[in-house]
Amino acid sequence: MKTRSFSLLLALLSGVAMGCSVAPVEWWGFAWIALAPLWVLLYRSPLNPLGLGFAWGVGFHGVALFWLTGIHPMTWMGVPWLASLAIAVACWMAVTVWGAAWAAIWAAIVSRYRRNGFTGILLGVAGWCLLDAIWQLTPLWWSSLAYTQSPHNLAILHLGQLSGITAVTASVVAVNGCLAVAILSEKRRQLAVMAAIATFSISHLLGFYLYSRPLNDSPNLAFRAGIIQGNVPNEIKLYREGLIRALEGYTRGYETLAETGVDAVLTPETALPDFWEADACLGDSPLAHLCQAIRRWEVTAWVGTFQGNLRRYSNSLLTVTGEGEVFSRYDKVKLVPLGEYIPFESVLGSVVNRLSPLQAQMVPGAKHQVFETPLGRAIVGICYESAFTEHFRRQAARGGDFFLSAANNAHYAPSMPQQHHAQDVMRAIELDRWGIRATNTGYSAIVDPHGRTLWKSGFNVFATHAETVYRRQTRTLYVRWGDWLLWVLLGMAALAVFRDKSSYKNTNPYKN
């Protein structure tokens, strides 16, 4: 009984160590060792592998996503304090269990198809990457092993230019697998340690080579981008007081940036919590103050707002030209479950209270939108979309020259926007594009194609910033071919299993 309890505790603690690799702790080096204990337990512990994997996943996702409890208190939405706490804890527990379930499935695969040495490691790597790829197809996704390295380990993140997060994740899992073999097998210990060191070193050297290549940006493709961080608290944002504060702040910030000579200004997600209509520049429109300022200064603005009506609306980013006209529109595709829409609404709609005071149905945008602007074609992600790599890759493959990230991020601890910033750093590297990131309360930033943060705002402050960025037409291997490495790993794993299937019996190769 003690052995079983210890095994479960060790699995949980190793997951916690992995959770400490992301914000707020950001001990990214832990990621290279924190999966190995689970791998060892899957061969040595008498416990069911599903339970071990689930415990590890609870540790990782429970720590990494603890910021979700920051939605409490929601008393400003009319939710009683205790009910608000219950909702926050329930949301945190739900996403933790969801993430832990995927770790449990991986543990079951590794335990079911036990293999010696290289084949076992390869199966573990391919299995993890396959589950990640499937998980990204679901509505609820955030915590990959790849983002444990962002934004600090820029060398390894450059493997994302080859095959997205799979290339980074595969390296992390492979090193952990080699360390697990070194612990499990005395005969293979020296070789496994050497393999771990070689995998870690080669992956970093390859990443550093990609990192060290000059950007060679053309001055002809430069433009000055402005960012406004409005700092309008969620408690007032969707009410009249918030709209007034937003209009005053964003108009003032826009005029300040326009005066410095910027070519365009980016505002955060739903910076103006109202519907931008065709008559927005008319005197009786609540948005006229900002729209008239745009006409006066004739500087393009990317405005976060709503489109639609009080019954059905979209979370949108508009390109508003110097004439005050809407040049292009992007509608958020990846909506937040429960926060922006109710999954299976016909079944759950009557029993689930949406975490939004807007009594309407938010609708997602079309999957294959193109966002043209006077400065070139842009790649766009609104808030939650930053975690979905394929969403950005599709837009880059269609000719996106730079990417815009607009988010709210209010009402959370600083660890959430820091993790969000880490996601955007990975996207900039994978796409080889300049990133312009505007948030409501932090952290807004400018990120270059090597993932270097050239400017980053403070938290819960009003801020404006101008920076020269560049349009780029390069196409990384990932942009051109997508996640090709996953298929290579799956093919190699299948061949390795087929090779030794005739001579291998499904018993534990490391059993004492």
Catalytic residues: 269, 332, 383
DSSP string, 447-484: E-TT--EEEE--SSS-EEEEEEEE------HHHHH-SH
25: Cβ contacts below 8 Å, ≥ 6 apart: 19
Residue type at 498 in one-letter notation: F
282: Cβ contacts below 8 Å, ≥ 6 apart: 288
What are the b/e assignments for 444-483, b being 16+ CB within 10 Å?
bbbbbbbbebeebbebeebbbbbbebbbbeeebebbebbb
**Distance between CA atoms of residues 222 and 469, nearest Å:** 6
For the CA atoms of 499, 500, 503, 508, the dihedral, rounded to the nearest 10 degrees, stands at: -170
Asked if residue 383 lies in contact with residue 335, where contact means CB atoms within 8 angstroms, the answer is no
**What's the full length of the chain, in residues?**
512
| Phi and psi at residue 217, to the nearest 5° | -70, 140
**Distance between CA atoms of residues 496 and 115, nearest Å:** 10
What 3-state DSSP class applies to 152? coil
Tell me which residue has tokens 């059993």: 511
Tokens representing 52? Answer: 């071990």
Tokens representing 463? Answer: 């801020």
Residue type at 444 in one-letter notation: S
Q: Which residues pair with 445 in a beta bridge?
A: 437, 456
Which of 94, 106, 114 is CA-nearest to residue 133? 106
Helix (H) or strand (E) holding 306: strand 300-308
Tokens representing 392? Answer: 């950005």
**Distance between CA atoms of residues 148 and 30, nearest Å:** 9
Helix (H) or strand (E) holding 225: strand 222-229
Please compute, for residue 314, the number of CA atoms within 13 A of its CA located in the half-sphere on the CB side: 16
